[in-house]
Amino acid sequence: MRIALINENSQAAKNGLIYTALKAVADEKGFQVDNYGMYAADDKAQLTYVQNGILAAALLNTGAADFVVTGCGTGEGAMLALNSFPGVICGHVEDPLDAYTFAQINDGNAMAVPFALKNGWGQELQLKYIFEQMWLEEPGSGYPKERVVPEQRNKRILDRVREAAYRPLIDIYRDLDPELVKGAFAGEHFRELFEAHAQPGEIRDYVLSLTD
């Protein structure tokens, strides 16, 4: 599994702390982590939580990432932004129990964490526990276990509803403010990471055309 970490501007100073906790768990699982930043509060490329959604959608819809870890001060804005795009199922994950139940019941591909609200001492431990529970078992296995059949059925229904509800990603990008979209892909290491891992196709070509 390839995991992408994305931080928006209000919590950019915590990028190193989040990356360290995430990578420790990923290394134990044999996962790869790509850090898309922001790396510090004064980065030249400033991401808003709305741009987190634009960026996450590009990564997940091209296979550049299998899962996105992101968030904002409360986690709510980032969750809403990511869920605005096709191919993204993002849960609001506040604690390890949220992580476990979201993974087992909803089988999503992104989480939005409140990196400021209710976080103080022990935040690095809380993050580690969240990441451990997110990938403790095979996602979509159900919880409680006697609910696995209806939960998996409901997830398939949800996937079909979402397919019917969303327009193609490139059409969405084209209808947004061009500077907003370009800014989402302006991170220091975006192009090298995206080029290396995104699958060939129309979305990859379009996104890269915005970084020339």
Per-residue pLDDT at 122: 94
2-209 fold = Ribose 5-phosphate Isomerase B; Chain: A, (3.40.1400)
Q: Which pLDDT score, from 0 to 100, does residue 194 have?
A: 98
Cβ atoms within 10 A of the Cβ of 108, count? 21
Sign of the torsion formed by the C-alpha atoms of 192, 197, 199 and 202: negative
Distance, in Å, from the CA atom of 193 to the CA atom of 195, rounded to the nearest integer, reads: 6
Quick one: tokens of 129? 């526990």
Is the peptide bond prior to 38 cis by the omega test (within 30 degrees of 0)? Answer: yes
Confidence of residue 212 (pLDDT cuts 50, 70, 90): confident
Average pLDDT score, the chain: 97
For the chain, the residue count is 212
- pLDDT confidence bin for 72, thresholds 50/70/90: very high
pLDDT of 74 strictly over 90: yes
Stated pTM of the model: 0.96
Main-chain dihedrals φ then ψ at residue 109, nearest 5 degrees: -125, 15
Specify the pLDDT at position 137: 93
| pLDDT beyond 90 at 161 | yes
Of all residues in the chain, the percent with pLDDT exceeding 90 is 98
DSSP structural state of residue 106: I
At residue 53, does pLDDT exceed 90? yes
Burial 123-149 (b: 16+ CB within 10 A, else e): beebbbbbbbbbbbeebeebeeeeeee
What pLDDT was estimated at residue 34?
98
Q: Which sign does the torsion angle of CA 92, 49, 15, 210 carry? A: positive
Domain ranges in the chain are 2-209
Query: At what angle are helices 202-209 and 49-62 packed, to 10 degrees?
Result: 140
- State what percent of residues in the chain have pLDDT above 70: 100
pLDDT tens digits, residue range 183-204?
999 999 999 999 999 999 999 9
- Flag whether pLDDT at 126 surpasses 90: yes
